[in-house]
Amino acid sequence: MSVGGLAQAKGAESPNGVVDLDLEAKQQWFRIGGGRALLYGYNGQIPGPVVEARPGDHVRLRFRNSLGEPTNVHYHGLHVPPTGSADNSFLMIAPGEEFTYEFDLPAWHPGGTFWYHPHVHGLTARQVSRGLAGVFIVRGELDRIEEIAAAPESILVLQDFDLGADGVAQEPDLMERMMGRQGGLVTVNGDVNPKIGIERNGWIRLRIVNGSASRFYRLHLEDHPLQVIGVDGGALPSPEERDEVLLAPGERAEVMIRGSRPEGSYRLLSLPYDRGVMGMGATPGNLRGGTMVLATIVYAGQAGRSWDLPRYLAGVEALPEATILRRFSLGQGMGMGIGGGMQFTINGRTFDANRVDTRVRLNTVEDWEFVNVTGMDHPMHVHTNPFQVLAGNGVPMRAWKDVVLVRAGARVRVRTAFRDYTGPAMYHCHILDHEDLGMMGRLDIQG
């Protein structure tokens, strides 16, 4: 059985080591969730075209902004320069303008599931929540493992939309922005509850991307364990069996599922998750979502053979001890502006592109501690260099991450090495309304 409705279109592959792609951001009418919706798409698609590359490839992406507002393209999780015509989130492409992004993936870039989306401060949540997101796959270690490569692969981009009765995307009010906008229409690759086929005794491989502006997904598949083989930026050393996988905005997971149950249909659910309260006395609403059906796994056919996953997947390097520990306090406070809405801060300050908040040296290793003093979860993301999350015993977990969930009232440490590239980069909360409302800092990597 084929994968029903899942966007498998390959936007760009790299036969000769060059990924060449034209990409246009534009507002138009889409058919989504059985109705019409006025949203933003890349190349007329929601989500945008899948880009596939290999380590060492040269990427050339001719971008055209056909929106009525400035935008740009950020390559979330890729280890490429944060400057020039590479992953430069300080750039703004004006309406009607074109810009050619061009960069090389290093030859040792980890394979993984990355993605691209707009990154103009103040407009990011609006543009992502209207549909602008696309997957950027780097083929690597996992793809060379026969037991994994033998399984049919599907990409699941999770997005939610807030549409009016007329199908027009709604702008949230200030309160919704403070909590982080969530839309009632939840889609996988632009479809409501698509079907994914599985052979009895066979395996399927899912690359799941949380492309929502603020919504969390607590993934659970009825009667089937999820074998997690990869997280944000790459492979795990060995498969980890989980009953559920939580994906905060910006996070990805790669999971294998075995068709080990009686024939039938099994729902991939998102279970309720409480991401906190606004705090400051009054609680205008909690941030809980109900159980939702994301997709349905349908048995069809029988695998010709049955096989197990290998215990060993990939080597993930151990980072050396850090020389510096930095703390980032995640806060919120009342803004000075009109309306006096809430602002989100890092170390007491809101984002200013012209102020350097953190200076680091190239070729050093640092530990960063995020301290969440608010009542709401903040998934923190750092551009350019991935990190490893430090476990309670201070030992880095062997997995490259670029988003780490810092729960309400919690503190989390990550270890990162600044490699290859100098220049200004960014770190921020990936609840994109929080980023737009100030929870972002500028990081300068100096040579």
Q: What is the DSSP letter of 142?
A: G
Q: What is the DSSP letter of 196?
A: E
Applying CB under 6 A, the span of 95-103, 180-188, 355-363, 423-431 interacting with ligand C2O comes to 423-431
Strands of 10-12's sheet in order across: 10-12, 50-53, 134-138, 112-117, 74-76
**Cβ distance 132 to 165 under 8 Å?**
no
Query: Can you tell me whether residue 262 is helix, strand or coil?
Result: coil
Taking the complex as a whole, the smallest distance from the CB of residue 335 to Cu ion amounts, in Å, to: 15
Do you find a cis peptide bond into 118, omega within 30 degrees of 0?
Answer: no
54 binds, among Cu ion, ligand C2O, none (CB under 5 to 8 A by kind): none
* Under rule CB under 6 A, residue 426 binds ligand C2O: yes
Taking the complex as a whole, the smallest distance from the CB of residue 269 to ligand C2O amounts, in Å, to: 25
* Under rule CB under 6 A, residue 428 binds ligand C2O: yes
**Cβ distance 290 to 296 under 8 Å?**
no
Taking the complex as a whole, the smallest distance from the CB of residue 209 to ligand C2O amounts, in Å, to: 10
Strands of 18-32's sheet in order across: 35-42, 18-32, 58-65, 98-104
| Nearest residue to 174 (alpha-carbon basis) of 285, 72, 273 | 285
Q: Which residue has the tokens 């019409």?
A: 36
Taking the complex as a whole, the smallest distance from the CB of residue 300 to ligand C2O amounts, in Å, to: 35
Question: Residue type for 58, please?
Answer: H
Q: Which is nearer to Cu ion, 139 or 407 (CB)?
A: 407
Contact string 133-162 vs ligand C2O (x = CB under 6 A): ------------------------------
Among positions 172-231, residues that touch ligand C2O (CB under 6 A) are: none
Taking the complex as a whole, the smallest distance from the CB of residue 119 to Cu ion amounts, in Å, to: 7
Question: Residue type for 185, please?
Answer: L
**Cβ distance 245 to 414 under 8 Å?**
no
Q: Which is nearer to ligand C2O, 41 or 194 (CB)?
A: 41
Among positions 228-267, residues that touch ligand C2O (CB under 6 A) are: 250
Question: Distance (Å, rounded) from C-alpha 217 to C-alpha 270?
Answer: 5
109 binds, among ligand C2O, Cu ion, none (CB under 5 to 8 A by kind): none
Contact string 119-138 vs ligand C2O (x = CB under 6 A): x-------------------
Instruction: List contacts with ligand C2O (CB under 6 A).
Output: 74, 76, 117, 119, 250, 381, 383, 426, 428, 430
